Amino acid sequence: MNLRRRLFFILMGPVIFAAVWLLLSGTFSRVAAQAIGVMTWMIFWWITRPVNITVTAILPVALNALLNLVPMETITSQYASDSVILIFGSGLITMPWAAIGLDRRIALKTLSLVGPSMKSQITVWLLASTLLSTMLPNVAVCALFTTIAVSMLTAAGHGDIPNSAPAVPILLAVGWGVTLGGAGSPLGGAMNLVAISFMEDYTGHEFIYIDWVIRILPYFIIAIAVLLAGMLLMPMKVDHLKGTKEFFEREYKELGPMKRDEKICAVLFLIALAGVFLRPLYDHLLPGLAPAYLFLIIGFLSFFITAADKGLMLTWEQAQKESLWGMMILFAGGMALGSLLNGAGASARVAELISGMSLDGGLLTIIILVVFTRLMSEVTNGTTAAAIMVPIVFGFTSETGLNPVPYWFITTMAFNGEYLLPISVRAIPVAHGLNANKMLKAGIPMTLLNIVVVIAVGWALMEFWPSFSTLPYLG
Residue range 47-77, pLDDT digits in tens: 788 988 788 889 999 999 999 999 999 899 9
Query: Are 246 and 334 contained in the same domain?
Result: yes
Query: Are 131 and 27 contained in the same domain?
Result: no
Query: Are 323 and 176 contained in the same domain?
Result: yes
pLDDT score at 141? 76
pLDDT score at 152? 73
pLDDT score at 375? 82
Q: Which residue has the higher pLDDT, 96 or 379?
A: 96
User: Is 90 exceeded by the pLDDT of residue 112?
Assistant: no
Most confident of 121-125, 156-160, 381-385: 121-125
Query: Are 340 and 261 contained in the same domain?
Result: yes
pLDDT score at 403? 92
pLDDT score at 140? 66
Q: Which residue has the higher pLDDT, 109 or 257?
A: 257
> pLDDT band for position 38 (50/70/90)?
very high
What 3-state class would DSSP assign to 306?
A: strand
Number of neighbours of residue 129 by Cβ within 10 angstroms: 29
Greatest CA span in the chain, whole angstroms? 69
Query: Are 40 and 140 contained in the same domain?
Result: no
How high is the mean pLDDT of the chain?
85
Cα(249)–Cα(379) distance, rounded to whole angstroms? 39
pLDDT score at 303? 94
pLDDT score at 111? 67
For the purposes of burial, counting CB atoms within 10 Å of the CB of 11, is it exposed (0-12), middle (13-18) or buried (19 or more)?
exposed
pLDDT score at 209? 86
pLDDT score at 323? 83
Residue 459: C-alpha distances to residues 64, 95, 184, 305, 455 (Å): 38, 40, 18, 49, 6
Asked if residue 176 lies in contact with residue 224, where contact means CB atoms within 8 angstroms, the answer is no
Query: Are 213 and 126 contained in the same domain?
Result: yes
The rounded Cα 375 to chain-centroid distance in angstroms is 15
Q: Which residue has the higher pLDDT, 78 or 151?
A: 78
- pTM of model > 0.75: no
Query: Are 158 and 306 contained in the same domain?
Result: yes
Query: Are 27 and 97 contained in the same domain?
Result: no
DSSP bridge pairs for 117: 240
Query: Are 29 and 134 contained in the same domain?
Result: no
For the chain, what is the radius of gyration of the CA atoms? 23
Query: Are 192 and 319 contained in the same domain?
Result: yes
Comparing C-alpha atoms, which of 32, 23, 62, 27 is closest to residue 45?
62
Cα(426)–Cα(424) distance, rounded to whole angstroms? 6
Return the half-sphere exposure (C-beta side, CA atoms, 13 A cut-off) of residue 2.
2
pLDDT score at 32? 92
Query: Are 82 and 38 contained in the same domain?
Result: no
For the purposes of burial, counting CB atoms within 10 Å of the CB of 249, is it exposed (0-12), middle (13-18) or buried (19 or more)?
middle
Q: What angle do CA 385, 375, 77 make, to 5 degrees?
A: 10
Asked if residue 178 lies in contact with residue 439, where contact means CB atoms within 8 angstroms, the answer is no
Give me the number of domains the chain comprises.
2
Q: Which residue has the higher pLDDT, 352 or 343?
A: 343
End position of a domain, from candidates 51, 69, 86: 51
Taking each helix axis from N to C end, the angle separating 291-301 and 82-94, rounded to the nearest 10 degrees, works out to 30
Q: Which residue has the higher pLDDT, 54 or 268?
A: 268
Most confident of 130-134, 210-214, 234-238, 470-474: 210-214
Q: Which residue has the higher pLDDT, 339 or 171?
A: 171
Structural domain boundaries, residue 7: 1-51
Cα(355)–Cα(357) distance, rounded to whole angstroms? 5
Query: Are 4 and 85 contained in the same domain?
Result: no
Sequence-ordered list of residues with C-beta below 8 angstroms from that of 463, at least 6 positions apart, any chain: none
User: Is 70 exceeded by the pLDDT of residue 248?
Assistant: yes
> pLDDT band for position 201 (50/70/90)?
confident
Asked if residue 242 lies in contact with residue 116, where contact means CB atoms within 8 angstroms, the answer is yes
Q: Which residue has the higher pLDDT, 30 or 474?
A: 30
User: Is 60 exceeded by the pLDDT of residue 475?
Assistant: no
